[in-house]
Structure 1
Amino acid sequence: MKILKNKTIRFTSDLDQKLEKLSHKLGRNKLMVFGQMVEYFYRTGKDPLDINDELLRKAIVKNHDAYVSFTRVQEKDLLIPMKNSMDSVFEGQQNIVKFLREKQVPEIQQLKQLQLNQANKFSETDKLIHNIYQLLDDKYKLKNKFSLILENYIKGREEISGAFRSKSKEELVERCRQMVNEL
């Protein structure tokens, strides 16, 4: 068990008022605030007379210099090469776009024109094929009609052959001619 020895310190009433205000502000009693002040100066090694806190200022300057040198190293090792790489990528993309504009776009437009021409020719070919089918169909119908006329003629001629009537033969020939003309 540790034995506490109480010591007393004498100070002026002005100093007592300042200590009272400080302890009230911090929410602690005067003895605790005094003990913490002594512990603070003991641990930090700061001189209470040094109001500007030269050690703190030196530490801040030292840390600032470390941060600046770290930033410069990062800039030199990472940021500048990264920027150069990005510039070269950007330049490469510009070259690609330029190439596409100069070479590929005209070729694509030419291909579009060729496809349009080919589509027009296909359309014309479709019309021509349709016309050919129509003509073939008409030819087929014409053959059928002509075949009917011929069959009619042959049948009529055989009927007339037995009777040898020249007038009937002429009527038959005339009728067949008329039918052929109507085709």
Structure 2
Amino acid sequence: MSKKSILISDYHHKELKKLSEALGLSYYKLVEEMITYFKKTGINPQESKNESPARALKELDKRMVSFLKVQERDILKPLRQEVYNYSKEQNHEIQKTSDTVIEVLNKMNTNETQRANTMLEEIKKQRMVALSIAKLLDAKNKSGLLSKINTIFE
């Protein structure tokens, strides 16, 4: 590394000396770090507003909070409402389907009850027919046909 010289005013030399002592760096190392810092951050030292990084972070924090609030208002809340409405609609559809299934099952039960009653009536008629035929065939119950049919139906 070759040595280079730069010209600075007495005031700035004193400030450089104070900074190097405060930061524990030699002059050349402090100047190198300054150059690297300005290069990395893109800060123009001539346009310095004497802003502290903490203040810049607070401003950035405010911007982030504002951004998040806008996202919440424009995206998250409508999305939440949409999900709530969809859920409510699904519950309504489930209830409607459940009611329909119950109604169909009740109709089936009623129809089966009617069918069973009709069959019982038909069986009663057939029993009466069988008894009437047995009475005609065996008027005095000599062969025991009527009593046999009665024991079968009991």
Decide which structure has the larger Cα Rg and report it. 1
TM-score by length of 2: 0.49
